[in-house]
Chain A
Amino acid sequence: MMQALAMIFTPQLLEATIRLSTPVTLASIGAMVCERTGVTNIAMEGIMLMGAFFAAAVGYATGSPWLGLLGGIAGGMAFSLLFAWAAVTLHINHVVAGAIMNILAFGFTRYFMNVFYHIQGTSPALPVTLHNYKYAVPLLGSLPVIGPAFFNQTPIVYMSLVAVIAWAWILARTRLGLSVLAAGEHPMAYETLGRSVPRIRYFGVLMSGLLCGIAGSFLSIENSNSFTEGMTDGRGFIALAANIAGGWRPLGCFLSSFFFGFVDALQLRVQSSGLLRIPSEIFLVFPYVATIAAVAGLVRGSRPPAAVGKDFTIEGEGD
């Protein structure tokens, strides 16, 4: 019993948590920015999938994982641009548009797997992946427990941490941050001050596209070496939950993503330790239950942006 526990709660548990939470963290920051500008974004699952696919495709074509990363970002942003066009310019209800984008993403990736490689399932492998660029921060990297988890990591893990800190700073101290906050709280006020609400909302969606693109790239060309169909497996939605549970705050997003990742990592280790031999499904269901609990428990305190999910037009000529 004791040594079984000792076997579960190891430094590796923390590393696994980071690996599992990285894509969710990135996507949830994207969701946060997007919703702060007033656009509800449930299309992240699809955007992430597109990112993963194009990262693998470009990476394989060029042989460089870094170009692959750019490809993933480009794919994610291009796809999110489509979403922005639908939600902001065409005034389609945001949740609806998001649902459509997800359908589209699955169709696209599967179709182009066939067109590009004439195979389904797994795309051809990259010779080098971003994992080959694992980098240990001097000094910090050699810290006991958190060292390997936070400071001896692969590029995109660092990017996710940077994204969290950067956005915490941007929202608190910069013109951009102020614009983002205002547009989601009182769009009309923002517009009457001579700034364009649609423009900032496009920015928000594109930012989520960028971050989800990176998240997708993590899945395909950092954590593994090729794209497999449906490899996001619901992470986009978990990210949405993480954003809500995190109260639309960068740090909150990170913490809740981290928590979900931790639950998952723990679950895997408890299973393999053979500590409890109950149906494995009981473990597998835990992250979902945890998410529900988190949403139910934490959402009370946090307040969503007043105008999130609401369409914006100046002259209500529709009515």
Chain B
Amino acid sequence: MKRALVLAIAIAVVLTMSVEAQSAKPLVAMTTDTNGLGDGSFNDGVYAGLKRAEAEGLCTVKVVEAHAMTDYVPNLSGLAEDGAKLVFGVGALMIEQIQEAAKGHPNTYFAGIDHYYGGEIPPNLIGISYREQEAGYLAGIVAGYMTSKYSKNSPLLNGKNVIGAVLGMDIPPVERYLAGYIAGAKSVNPTVDVRYIVTGTFADRAKGKEASIALIDQGADIVMQIAGLTGMGVLDAARERHVFAIGADVDQNAAAPEYVLTSALKGTTISAYKAIKALSDGTLKGGQNIVYGLAEDAIDIAPFHQFDKIVPAEVKDAVAKAKRDIISGKIKVPVSLAELGIKK
């Protein structure tokens, strides 16, 4: 036991030295939540932001995937000890842990994704959260118009005036998306029939596909996915049944270019990138919560890519107007189905 210990320490010292080999650019690190990279959601989003910053030569990047919730603290503080100047903690589940880590490492900035801190916030900690409902709202507007009024514009649309959404687990961020989506659609098309299915998992692609096929069979010609990896199945279904899909969190057009109409962008990428930019400019300010929304142009919908021509001006204008009104506060986007008078 004891000898093994000594040995381990010896080795460790050696390699920590090798690791400490410093580069000129600041080290920016992130730890994922237990879903790890490849969740097709905020983990990937933030990682994309880091990659972009790295590509622009702003920093070097290091990422750790948490295996269990107990790993959050060691990962966060460990990354700080590895010399990271800015550490992203992704996922609401590490909200206490990141505050502890921030207190423990005052010389490192910490940014918590999907975090909103109450009370007194350490000067080196930034809580980053999003108003997903706004993204949902914009996507809803597009869907609401295209499914009925402009259903002639694409062979993929059937004019039955039904749109759908496939949810992963029934948790608040997902519900915020959905609430916005429904409200947005109804705002431009009061008669639209919005149907949704909760698959109960973020990992079962086949189930996501069946769910959206069920919606398609019931007339839906635009299906939004709010389901992480399960959402990949929605794209599968769109590809197979020739209907439109709407991606979530990141621009998923690449995954099925002929079918992804647009994506509701939760600005994890942009917000992460902004933070790093501010870091390198020396303007990064801690001790605050930043709630990203349209106003902070971290929430948006993705470009229509090759569908740009079939999406008429009226729709684009409506989206633009909605943006303005939301920013100006003229439109208050609902955050829960309860607000829409729908009970689960």
Contact = CB atoms under 8 A, between A and B. Distances in A.
Interface string B198-221: 111101111101110111011000
Interface stretch (A87-95, A198-206, A220-228): A220-228
A280 B198 contact: yes
Q: Which of B38, B44, B204 has the most C-beta atoms of chain A within 10 angstroms of its own C-beta? A: B38
B260 interface: no
A268 B209 CA distance: 11
A158 to B, nearest CB: 17
Contact of B206 (A113, A122, A223, A280): A223
A69 to B, nearest CB: 17
A231 B206 contact: yes
Nearest to B254: A125
Contacts of A281: 170, 198, 200
Interface stretch (B12-20, B229-237, B287-295): B229-237
Contacts of B82: none
Interface in A12-68: 12, 16, 19-20, 23
B243 to A, nearest CB: 14
Nearest to B40: A121
Nearest to A226: B232
Contact of B195 (A226, A229, A274): A274
A136 B195 CA distance: 31
Contacts of A113: 38
Majority secondary structure of chain B interface residues (helix, strand, loop or mixed): mixed
Q: Which of B196, B201, B211 has the most C-beta atoms of chain A within 10 angstroms of its own C-beta? A: B211
B335 interface: no
Interface string A107-128: 0000001000001111001000
Contact of B229 (A122, A271, A272): A122
B166 to A, nearest CB: 9
Nearest to A12: B217
Given A224-B206, A269-B218, A16 B213 contact: yes
A186 interface: no
Q: Which of A113, A269, A273 has the most C-beta atoms of chain B within 10 angstroms of its own C-beta? A: A269
Nearest to A132: B240
Contact of A284 (B200, B203, B229): B200
Nearest to A233: B204
Contact of A231 (B40, B205, B210): B205
A280 B344 contact: yes
B215 A228 contact: no
Given A121-B44, A122-B38, A272 B214 contact: yes
Contacts of A265: 210, 214
B239 A231 contact: no
B29 interface: no
Given A219-B206, A272-B196, A277 B344 contact: yes
A268 B211 contact: yes
Given A125-B255, A231-B205, A272-B195, A225 B210 contact: no
A10 interface: yes
Contacts of B205: 219, 223-224, 228, 231
Contacts of B123: none
Given A121-B39, A122-B229, A273-B218, A131 B240 contact: yes
A7 interface: yes
A279 interface: yes
Contact of B344 (A20, A131, A223, A279): A279
A225 B239 contact: yes
Contact of A233 (B201, B217, B343): B201
Interface string B21-43: 00000000000000011111000
Contacts of B197: 268, 271-272, 280
A224 to B, nearest CB: 4
Interface string B300-344: 000000000000000000000000000000000000000000111
A224 B205 CA distance: 8
A77 B343 CA distance: 48
B203 A233 contact: yes
Contacts of A271: 196-198, 214
A271 B212 CA distance: 12
Interface string A76-104: 00000000000000000000000000000
B164 interface: yes
Q: Which of A16, A228, A229 has the most C-beta atoms of chain B within 10 angstroms of its own C-beta? A: A228
Given A20-B210, A281-B170, A229 B255 contact: no
A212 B311 CA distance: 44
B40 A122 contact: yes
A274 B205 CA distance: 23
Contacts of A20: 206, 210
Contacts of B213: 12, 16
Interface of A: 7, 10, 12, 16, 19-20, 23, 113, 119-122, 125, 131, 219, 223-226, 228-231, 233, 264-265, 268-269, 271-274, 277-281, 284
Given A219-B205, A272-B164, A284-B198, 11 more contacts: A7-B218, A12-B213, A19-B210, A122-B229, A131-B240, A224-B236, A228-B229, A231-B206, A233-B206, A281-B170, A281-B198
Interface of B: 36-40, 44, 65, 164, 170, 195-201, 203-207, 209-211, 213-215, 217-218, 229, 232-233, 236, 239-240, 255, 342-344
12 contacts: A16-B214, A120-B37, A121-B39, A121-B229, A224-B232, A225-B239, A231-B203, A264-B207, A265-B214, A271-B214, A272-B214, A280-B344
Which 9 pairs from chain A and chain B are nearest by CB?
A121-B38, A120-B38, A280-B198, A284-B200, A233-B204, A120-B37, A12-B217, A268-B214, A224-B236
